[in-house]
Amino acid sequence: MSQGSGIVASVPETPLIACFGEGLVALVPTTAGPLESNRTFQRSLAGAEWNVALAVASAGSGAAVISRVGDDGFGRFLLAELAQHGVDASAVEIDPAAPTGLYVKELSAEGEGPVQSAMHYYRAGSAGSRISPATLRTPAAERVLADAALVHTTGITPALSDGARAAQDELFAERGDRLIGFDVNWRPALWQGREDEARELLGGYLAAADVAQCSAHDAEAVFGTGDPDRLRALFPGPRHLVVTRDDGATAFDGAERADAPAVPSTVIETIGAGDAFAAGFLAGVLSGLSLSGCVARANRIATRALGSTRDHVG
């Protein structure tokens, strides 16, 4: 098993944000319609934590990814994308036996609104699902973690496998001086038959994070409410708690609260906007911006993910 990709991008001299989770290749049809009718697809980098890393780098902050990909063309494509966007990929292990995960988007356009997407995942047995505590103990990963001011992860990672869950538990337990950013990113298909376990687990991660984020939709599904004040009462521990909605966001820094409407923009598709928002908010926190400044920066970056069917800003 390879101990890292060997690709180290030139990153800015800013606090490093390390993103931990599975990278995927997205195959996006060039036109809307059922998959059986589409003949042409464009490939794109995907995966919530990897989307955040690209957006962090686009905001001028240092970004790195800790993960695993297959020793295949899709894996090499993902590594090249990280390098092209200035993200440190040295802590991405290359698995010679398991493939890089992927998913296929199915697009439908109705009326004048945004394109609607359905995702079809092909990630079972992927290299990313074989993330484990050992992934954090490679020399490259240890270097990245030593340099990181903040580690960002999501509720997707612990759903991938027992090993991935154990690794995420270790990140929280052995954070040292690093901040932890956590986004719920509820994926019901990954937790099918384990919903009660998921609610307890994700609630524990959210409560233990320093910068906690969830969409109102995800919070309603997992915790029974998308109301920001009720969520703050349920989760008083994180210094920063951010609740995003289609029409804006509410953020807390301790007892301070900031509300901001969404920035007007052309919306092609909404997938990936939450990841871009998270990146902008995290970069703002590490830059020392005010709470309202963090939300404003997050909103601006999120709009850049709304203008295409890619999952990430470019």
In contact, 278 and 181? CB cutoff 8 Å: yes
**Considering the chain, what is the average pLDDT of its residues?**
90
pLDDT at 226: 97
Judged against a pLDDT cut of 60, whether residue 145 lies above it is answered with yes
pLDDT value of position 269? 47
Q: What is the pLDDT of residue 278?
A: 94
Q: Among 115, 119, 71, which Cα is nearest to 267's?
A: 115
The domains found in the chain, sorted by start residue, are 16-304 (3.40.1190.20)
User: Looking at the DSSP assignment, which residues form a beta bridge with residue 260?
Assistant: 249
Provide the percentage of residues in the chain whose pLDDT is more than 90: 75
275 included as an active-site residue: yes
Q: Which of 108-112, 181-185, 253-257, 280-284 has the lowest mean pLDDT?
A: 108-112
Which pair of structure tokens corresponds to residue 285?
A: 């926190």
pLDDT at 314 over 80: no
CB 269 within 8 Å of CB 230 = no
The pTM of the full predicted model, rounded to 2 decimals, is 0.90
Does the pLDDT value for residue 270 go beyond 60?
no
Q: Which two tokens stand for residue 44?
A: 């794109």
What is the rounded (10 degree) CA torsion for 277, 282, 283, 289?
A: 100
**Catalytic entry in 88, 183, 275, 311:** 275
Q: 216-232: per-residue pLDDT in tens?
A: 999 999 999 999 999 99
Residue 286 — very low, low, confident or very high, per pLDDT cuts 50/70/90? very high
Query: What local confidence, expressed as pLDDT, does residue 3 receive?
Result: 56
Cβ atoms of 63 and 57 closer than 8 Å: yes
Q: Is the dihedral of CA 65, 71, 75, 80 positive or negative?
A: positive
Minimum mean pLDDT range among 239-253, 263-277, 286-300: 263-277
pLDDT digits (tens, 9 = 90+) for 88-99: 999 999 999 999
Q: Where do the DSSP E strands lie in the chain? A: 16-20, 24-29, 41-46, 62-70, 88-95, 102-108, 116-122, 148-154, 179-183, 211-215, 240-245, 248-253, 256-261
Confidence of residue 116 (pLDDT cuts 50, 70, 90): confident
pLDDT > 70 fraction of the chain, expressed in percent and rounded: 88
Average pLDDT over residues 291-299: 93
What distance lies between CA 26 and its chain's CA centroid? 14
